Amino acid sequence: KSTISRRVNTDTKILPNKESKKQIKEKDIRYIPLADQLAAVLKEKQNITTPPSHIIKWAKDIRLACEERKINPGKLKRDLKIYADNFNADFRPIIESGKSLREKLPKLWSFIERCQNPKQSKQDRPSFVKNFPAEDFSKLKNWKTEEVSHED
């Protein structure tokens, strides 16, 4: 279990430490593990420490994202795991809070789709490159700058 999830007193819905006596809404408690998972990703990958008060706010944003888009929290949990596993990939959406997660969900799903289908098939390529193997496809970008020797 996460640190914030263990610290929440489910009877009173109040964090037990004195510095943060914020009231946690009943409907947001379910989303605290997802917010904590996002905080763990940020801690591991970018060394960003997230205070418990932010995690509570993120839980609300994640709840709103799930309600607005009608998605299952389990799907979002899986999506965050894929995001963490592919954190260093090119063109990933920058998600650093619950609000940015909520705003960038479509970009996150597009990123996940790209991670799961990394290479184009020969059918999807333009006609002038269909005979190239997938590995050599990137070499076409530099075709104008390479020197070509013509032997007569």
pLDDT in tens, 77-87: 999 999 999 99
- C-alpha of 6 from chain center: 24
One-letter amino acid of 104: K
What pLDDT does residue 9 have? 47
Distance CA 129, CA 134 (A): 9
CA distance 92 to 99: 17
Does the predicted model carry a pTM greater than 0.75?
no
CB proximity list for 80: less than 8 A, separation 6 or greater: 34, 37, 38, 41
Tens of pLDDT, residue by residue over 8-65, are 544 334 454 544 445 678 899 999 999 999 999 999 999 999 999 999 999 999 999 9
**pLDDT at site 137:** 53
In tens, the pLDDT along 98-118 reads 999 999 999 999 999 988 887
Could you tell me where the DSSP H helices lie in the chain?
3-7, 26-29, 32-46, 52-69, 73-85, 98-103, 105-116
